Amino acid sequence: MNRDIVCIGAGYIGGPTMAVIAKMNPDRRVTVVDINAERIAAWNSPGFDLPVYEPGLVEIVKETRGKNLFFTTDIKAAVEGSDIVFVGVNTPTKMFGRGAGRASDLQFWEATAREIKSFAKSDKIVIEKSTLPVKTAAAMDAILNDRAKYRFTVLSNPEFLAEGTAIKDLLSPDRVLIGGPQDDAGRAAMEAVVDIYAAWVPREKILTTNVWSAELTKLAANAFLAQRVSSINAIAGLCEATGADVDEVARVIGADSRIGPKFLKAGPGFGGSCFKKDVLNLVYLCESFGLHTAAEYWVQVIRMNDHQQERIVSRLFREMFNTLANRKIALFGFAFKADTGDTRETPAGVVARLLAEERVRVSITDPKALENAKKDLKDVDCVTFEPDEYKAAEGADAVVLMTDWRHYPSLDWQRVFDLMRKPALVFDTRNCLDAAALRKIGFKVLNIGK
């Protein structure tokens, strides 16, 4: 078996993960392949104009690209040349047929398995890097090993990195999870993958389990995180009704070591490509096994999240004298969180659409996500895109801060106020601005959970 690695899928997961593996394993050749030629061209661009923005990523790609990290569309050559195959293709929610709106659409995964099988010229370890429903490995094993010339061992190695901190999370993960068959071939394959990570991750943080536990753990971990966000947002509504302050409540709940302080920030609700998709996937699994009450429990996590964005628009409506038509509202931030250009499932997208339905003139500004915002909202009239925050706010009745970009608190808010129509409203859905200072300038200020 050779030590070289191929990763199929050069997206948010494949690119950064393989860049770090290449950096930490300089003696291994790491090849990342994708069917999207434009994406591969961007990974290979001479000016390092990479398709994924992550702090620290470009430095690692500069260090490794062309040495032991390669990006290509030639899947055949890449699969032939490597015995360890990671698969990090997309697994969106299925939008048709059985399980529509809930189950994972596994067509990209299946196509990839068939490609691996047809191009293989030796035994391979095939690793699920994508997030997949429990038991996918069994389906893959059946496809790969049915009348196969070579032996394929399917492992699950889900990824826990968060966008915006991908490189930090990859370099010092809380844990790495590798699940595999509990037989000699499975254990040997798991050991081969442990070796890749052991180049920089302490052994005690590399956890091995059976395949089904690994697949389910990934869905469960995202569901728990999403559930925390929905729980604190549910409390936020109650804080607004009672005069409690959600940040104070969160600080004190989080001081209980059994609960812990992370993931208790109330806001516009969770976005990102995975939480909703993975919770829905869990719901579908529960339903498939007849666990309907468990399914309903997880559905509520999504309902609460949707409600949070509807609540933002309802509050704007109330505060702006029950009429929004023809008003101008500036959305500060469109990415689903700071430090990423990713806008998949972003709460700002939902709010922009709800405002557009009310015939609001929406102007959107974001330091990294404006191009994606334009694509996401290409079917929506009365939306404009403006890289400069001050221009976005010019003539606006309200600024709604949607993403907690670090520089927003230090904008010249007096200048923003002077540019806006009066009365001027700021709705800080991330509770990251100095509300007292804003009020002193003359703004009316709304927060979440205050």
Q: Which does 177 bind (CB under 5 to 8 A by kind): ligand NAD, ligand UGA, none?
A: none
Among positions 5, 7, 11, 225, the unique one binding ligand NAD when judged by CB under 6 A: 11
Q: How many CA atoms lie within 13 A of 248 on its CB side?
A: 6
398-401 sheet: strands from edge to edge? 383-385, 361-365, 328-332, 398-401, 425-428, 444-447
Q: How far is CA 310 from the centre of its chain?
A: 21
Reply yes or no: is the peptide bond before residue 202 cis, omega within 30 of 0. no
Residue 241: strand pairing partners = none
Please identify, using beta-carbon distances, which residue of 50 and 239 lies nearer to ligand NAD: 50
* Residue 270 binds ligand UGA (CB under 6 A): yes
What character string, x for contact with ligand NAD (CB under 6 A) and - otherwise, covers 107-126?
Answer: -x--xx--------------
* Residue 179 binds ligand NAD (CB under 6 A): no
Q: Which of 7, 239, 274, 286 is catalytic?
A: 274
Output the CA–CA distances (angstroms, integers) from residue 190 to 89, 102, 126, 220, in the order listed. 21, 31, 11, 22
124-128 sheet: strands from edge to edge? 69-72, 30-33, 5-8, 84-87, 124-128, 152-156, 176-179, 206-209
Among positions 6, 7, 12, 308, the unique one binding ligand NAD when judged by CB under 6 A: 12
Can 382 be counted among the known catalytic residues? no
What character string, x for contact with ligand NAD (CB under 6 A) and - otherwise, covers 257-296?
Answer: ----------------xx----------------------
* Residue 133 binds ligand NAD (CB under 6 A): no
Is residue 53 a contact partner of residue 61, using CB atoms and an 8 Å limit?
no
* Residue 93 binds ligand NAD (CB under 6 A): no
Please identify, using beta-carbon distances, which residue of 310 and 371 lies nearer to ligand NAD: 371
Q: How far apart are CA 278 and CA 224, in angstroms?
A: 11
Task: Tell how strand 30-33 and strand 398-401 pair up.
Answer: unpaired
Active site residues: 274
Binding site for ligand NAD (CB under 6 A): 8-14, 33-36, 39, 75, 88-91, 108, 111-112, 130-131, 159, 161, 163, 273-274
Binding site for ligand UGA (CB under 6 A): 131, 159-163, 222, 225, 229, 263-265, 267, 270-272, 274-275, 336-337
